[in-house]
Amino acid sequence: MAPVEQVKTTRDGHLFVRFPDRKNLEMAKMEIQAISNISANEKGTLKPKIKVVYVPKDEDDIVANIVKKNPWINNLISENDDLKIVKEMAAKNDKYKPYTVSSNAHHKHEKLSMIEVIEYLHCIYSRCKVFACYMPYQRYKCQEFGHSATDCRNDQACPRCGENHKSNECASSIFRCKNCLKKGHSNTKHKTYDGNKCTV
């Protein structure tokens, strides 16, 4: 049997199994399909987004400029509104700004993922580096990722110290990231939502 990373029972009585990589997932699916009375379904992937960096701050309409300067994108989308900026991130310098761009229509997600295979997009004034960008939701109750609030069965965890209480009840002056601690990472002295320090 393929190695397993996590096993849990869902609210509707199904068994959720997480594997360390796709190779082991495919191996397990073949083994499960060989058993006639058990069916296995793969959980859907997160909706794809792309992170566009080195965008000049004086760009007016980022999405319209990307579509205008990259005509091949017109083969993937029907209108400019099919792409939208979902997040404008803090810039590290005064000249450029990074953005996260997503598809506006659900049926276009697979098409947007095709954009992820390229390295650059052209804007009006520059060539912008492109990265695949996935933004999983983090639960405020347990601080973990990848499940909804209604499906959360975990204990309450403080985002500051990792103990079993809410952040507004925390009296600790020492930060300890529960997620990094659980993964055995060396740097745990930060809050769970500190994206600049948390490697999880």
Does residue 80 sit within a domain?
yes
Query: Would the pTM of this model clear 0.75, i.e. be above it?
Result: no
Does residue 44 sit within a domain?
no
pLDDT band at 189 (very low <50, low <70, confident <90, very high): very high
Minimal CA–CA distance to 108: which of 136, 133, 79, 88?
A: 79
Minimal CA–CA distance to 121: which of 112, 130, 111?
A: 130
Q: Please tell me whether residues 163 and 194 are part of one structural domain.
A: yes
Which of 98, 118, 133 is where one domain is finished?
A: 133
Q: Please tell me whether residues 66 and 100 are part of one structural domain.
A: yes
pLDDT band at 77 (very low <50, low <70, confident <90, very high): low
Q: What are residue 22's phi and psi, to 5 degrees?
A: -65, -35
Does residue 63 sit within a domain?
yes
pLDDT band at 105 (very low <50, low <70, confident <90, very high): very low
- Rounded to a whole number of angstroms, the CA Rg of the chain reads 21
The pLDDT tens digits for 47-65 are 567 778 888 887 778 888 8
The pLDDT tens digits for 23-50 are 888 888 888 878 867 777 777 655 567 7
The parent domain of residue 20 ranges over 1-35
Domain count, the chain: 3
pLDDT at 22: 78
Does residue 41 sit within a domain?
no
pLDDT at 64: 82
